[in-house]
Amino acid sequence: MAKVEIDKVVPDFTLLASSGQEVSLQQYRGKRLVIYFYPADMTPSCTQEACDFRDYNGQFAQLNAEVIGISPDDLKKHDKFITKCELPFLLLSDPDHQVCELFGIWQLKKLYGKEYMGVVRSTFLIDENGKLVKEWRKVRVKNHVAEVLQALKEM
């Protein structure tokens, strides 16, 4: 599968959602889509990022945009996370990290001298035609969601 590139249509993919259904990228044609990838449910930075997207969700909707989150966590963990944080959007499970690899965010990481493979926090903005228009890689959570919202307003 080819990697995603700015100004190119993102290849379709299908993952299981927290709602239990299969969700494919194709279903979002005609809407703007914000996909944010995060390492794990219930961790401090990931919780803050999810809550920031939750708090701005109405503004995203006004701009014809939907938000979905993707991590390698399973659906049961996603359900707990959604309930705890009252998230109004779907979380998709990518346990085999195929979609993470498609977006180039499954990478070698280091923590306390140990190396491991994991998700590099990243966000992607896709237009109504399925084309990638903007990406944020190696995201710092503070003020990030406001930046994404601003980019949507400028589209």
From the candidates 46, 51, 85, 100, give the one annotated as an active-site residue. 46
Residue found under tokens 């237009």: 127
| Residue 98: CA count within 13 A, CB half-sphere | 10
| Cβ count near 30 (within 10 Å) | 9
In whole angstroms, give the CA distance from residue 100 to residue 70: 8
70: left (phi over 0), alpha (psi -120 to 50) or beta: beta
Question: Is the Cα torsion angle 56, 135, 102, 130 positive or negative in sign?
Answer: positive
| Residue 119: CA count within 13 A, CB half-sphere | 25
Check if 46 is active-site.
yes
Q: Which residues are catalytic?
A: 46
